Structure 1
Amino acid sequence: MMAQLLQQPQQLLAEPFPQPEGYTQLNVREQAYNPRFYETVGKIMKLREKYLRDRCIFVESADMIDIVLGLGANEADLPKMEKVSDHLYHDPTLPFRLTRNSRFCLDFDTHTIRRLEFQPFVLTVEEDFNRYDSGAIRRFDEVQNELQLNSVFQALFAFKAMVIHGVQIAHRPKLEYGINKWVCTLFNLRTVTTPHILGEPALEGVHSDGVDHTMTTFLGSYNMSDNSAATFMHDMDEKTGIPLEEIKPKHLLARVQHKRLLDTLMIVDHERKHSLSAVYPVDETKEAHRDMLVFFTRKPVERTHVSGSIDSLTPHKELPMEIPLYLPGANQ
């Protein structure tokens, strides 16, 4: 593996992308001769092997922080990730959630990750998402530079790209698997519980996200009890849309819980369904909340897909972002 990595430094030596003033973006090309970078890539490849085998991985906070810093993220950007959810807006359909979203292209031809122009968002029952707003065209406020130009956030993207590169998965209908690019719809979410409303990270019950690879990363919480927001993974025979209390033990594959900064779960979305428990407060007289990043990643859609008219690959003009991407060779 190390010999394979060292054969590719030319990927890292190209001219770096301009860095916007006031931000320190990730540039893996600057890591070309840093031994820690290659040690980190080796760790990611071991996690990729587990992902290939189990179709899901859970990376705990300390390990993920070590990985993003090993990829070149600035340690000073870590505390900024804990605060970024303070600037979210109301969700268009869920009263207990604050949200921003954005779209990115993981381009395995150009070895870059870039921000894409705004598009509405839709998920349907046919994609294993059964909720009262299934099929509705939803418009979210957009992610701003404070998140997308954070080097830790960008390193999370680079991590996901390395893990999914070359992984063979069950294909969803009407996706363009022959294209060497991926579309990622990124959500920054705060789920809120108050004395008057219960915040549910997955009101839809057992579901899939209509994509190929789902990654969820914990940013922080306030007044949240230890029994909150556990994630349960189910085989594909579990019934879509049923509440957590109705799941069948024979279909339950795993349980994890995001508790610390950058705790991260990745799932092959068309091979594992999942569900979550609610956000419960420690002090029931006060608000409780849970902040997350959710990376929905799939191939571009065909024109006949429900999102066929809202899946542009055009770069974002007002909020541009583009970083170099390092992809170790993978033939599996």
Structure 2
Amino acid sequence: MEAISPIKQIWGTAAPILRLRRTPSGYGLHQRWYRGLGNASTAMNETRDMAVKARPPPLNIKRQSCTPEFYEAISRICQLRRKYMEKRTVFVDGEEMVPILKALGARDEDFPRLQAVNNSLVGDPTLPFRKSRNGRFCFDWDTKSVRRLEFQPFALSVGEDFKRHDSDTVRVFDEVDNDLQLNTAFQALMVFKGLMFHGMTVKERPKLDYHSNKWVCTLFALRTVTTPEMLGEPALEGVHTDGVDHTMTTYLRSTNMTPDSAVTFLHDVKEKTGIRLQETAPEMIRARAQHRHFLDTLLIVDNERKHSISPVYAVNASREATRDMLIFFTRKPVTGDHISAGIDSLNPHREMGLEFPAMSLSDE
């Protein structure tokens, strides 16, 4: 029996809630609803309690400052950050990311776990060729920490240079769980991103609060799937931006994917939103990158570069091909009548609370 997220039940986007225990005959509709919801809540609480008892300590970058590897990593991050500020995009090979993340505190055993974490993904709300989960985090420079935020739906609009059949639609994703957020390699990726973007001056988006000392990071764990009947597209929307200030994409792994699949093209911001890669003007292409190895990571100043991605093709066309990624969308909190107004809470997550130290390279 397929497990359906209680979150999707509450928001009214999924089929009736999973019955974790057989429902006795004679129960009315509302009695069955509340019984199912109660059983799901009990099971989740029991699972969460066991996870909390076994929870390893989160990454603590302050403890790393006594090691020579830490300062070597900070020196390299400074170089990457300088390139990011100059070029408005930077690609970091996975081989280079590994020692950087270890120096920031990532534990050796968490790297293979991170590579396999997308095995727990579920169906996407609007794309049949994708499996997904998401979670919201806050870079809080008042507390110099990263913390998990409560669940909220997600939306991207045409006005944010995102043109697809589900633009301007409020979408509900299942949440990422402790198998990802408690992974210290993942936490080190978050710290790395904070080190790279904080203090940068970027082209401001309308309806975002640039006076705030907090940033909202919406994390997506995604698997793009190609089958003999269906072509998987990491960016069905064509040329686009992600409606944020900084986008970071990190590769986990793939299966049966051709070497020429999923190439990312960076376009001038003047390129037309929503067109396919083959329709773009070659003179508008500013750079290209391709994630091929574990932890290959790309950062983009999202409001200053549009991007597109080619499809996932199968080596053996008779079998499924997959591509697993982590996508980190980071922006200032919304204001006014932004499409995400009302679904951009900064409240901490009560059931899966997490907070760990961050640091900045800026002079602010």
TM-score normalised to structure 2 length? 0.85
Q: Distance in 2 between matches of 1:212 and 1:115?
A: 19
Task: Give % identity.
Answer: 56
- 1:206 corresponds in structure 2 to 239
Is 1:309 the counterpart of 2:342? The answer is yes
Among candidates 357, 360, 364, match of residue 324 of structure 1:
357
Give 1:141 deviation, angstroms: 0.3
Among candidates 242, 247, 253, match of residue 280 of structure 2:
247
1:195 aligned counterpart, secondary structure: coil
1:128-207 equivalences under 5 Å are 128-207=161-240
Among candidates 32, 41, 63, match of residue 74 of structure 2:
41
Letter of the aligned partner of 1:128 in structure 2? D
User: Residue by residue, what CA displacement relative to the aligned partner does 1:208-242 show, whole Å, maximum 9, x if unpaired?
Assistant: 00000000000000000001000000011100000
Letter of the aligned partner of 1:204 in structure 2? E
Give 1:23 deviation, angstroms: 2.8
Among candidates 85, 91, 105, match of residue 58 of structure 1:
91
Task: Specify every segment of 5 or more residues in structure 1 that has no aligned partner in the other structure, as ranges.
Answer: 1-18
TM-score normalised to structure 1 length? 0.93
Q: Distance in 2 between matches of 1:26 and 1:64?
A: 16
Q: Distance in 2 between matches of 1:137 and 1:202?
A: 18
Q: Distance in 1 between matches of 2:267 and 2:56?
A: 40
Is 1:236 the counterpart of 2:269? The answer is yes
Q: Distance in 2 between matches of 1:303 and 1:89?
A: 33
Residue range with higher mean Cα deviation, 31-40 or 86-95: 31-40
- Kindly indicate whether structure 1 or structure 2 has the higher relative contact order, using CA contacts under 8 Å at least 6 residues apart: 1
1:255-266 equivalences under 5 Å are 255-266=288-299
User: Residue by residue, what CA displacement relative to the aligned partner does 1:33-77 show, whole Å, maximum 9, x if unpaired?
Assistant: 112112111111111100110000000011111110111110110
Give 1:21 deviation, angstroms: 2.5
Letter of the aligned partner of 2:86 in structure 1? R
Q: Is the 8 A contact 1:191 1:279 kept in 2?
A: yes
- 2:144 corresponds in structure 1 to 111
Query: Could you say if the C-alpha distance between residues 51 and 20 of structure 1 is closer, same or farther in structure 2, counting changes exceeding 3 Å?
Result: farther
Letter of the aligned partner of 1:241 in structure 2? G
Is 1:275 the counterpart of 2:308? The answer is yes
Give 1:24 deviation, angstroms: 4.6
Give 1:30 deviation, angstroms: 1.2
Among candidates 148, 156, 171, match of residue 123 of structure 1:
156
Q: Distance in 1 between matches of 2:205 and 2:327?
A: 20
Q: Distance in 1 between matches of 2:124 and 2:241?
A: 20
Give 1:20 deviation, angstroms: 6.2
Among candidates 86, 99, 124, match of residue 91 of structure 1:
124
Q: Is the 8 A contact 1:24 1:74 kept in 2?
A: no
Is 1:298 the counterpart of 2:315? The answer is no
Q: Is the 8 A contact 1:165 1:330 kept in 2?
A: no
Q: Is the 8 A contact 1:303 1:309 kept in 2?
A: no
Q: Is the 8 A contact 1:233 1:272 kept in 2?
A: yes
- 2:35 corresponds in structure 1 to none
Letter of the aligned partner of 2:319 in structure 1? K
Runs of 4+ in 1 over 4 A off after TM superposition: none
1:75 aligned counterpart, secondary structure: coil
Q: Is the 8 A contact 1:25 1:149 kept in 2?
A: yes
- 1:78 corresponds in structure 2 to 111
1:305 aligned counterpart, secondary structure: coil
Q: Is the 8 A contact 1:105 1:313 kept in 2?
A: yes
Structure exhibiting the larger radius of gyration computed from Cα positions: 2
Q: Distance in 1 between matches of 2:66 and 2:56?
A: 23
Give 1:329 deviation, angstroms: 3.5
Q: Distance in 1 between matches of 2:353 and 2:134?
A: 14
Q: Distance in 2 between matches of 1:84 and 1:23?
A: 17
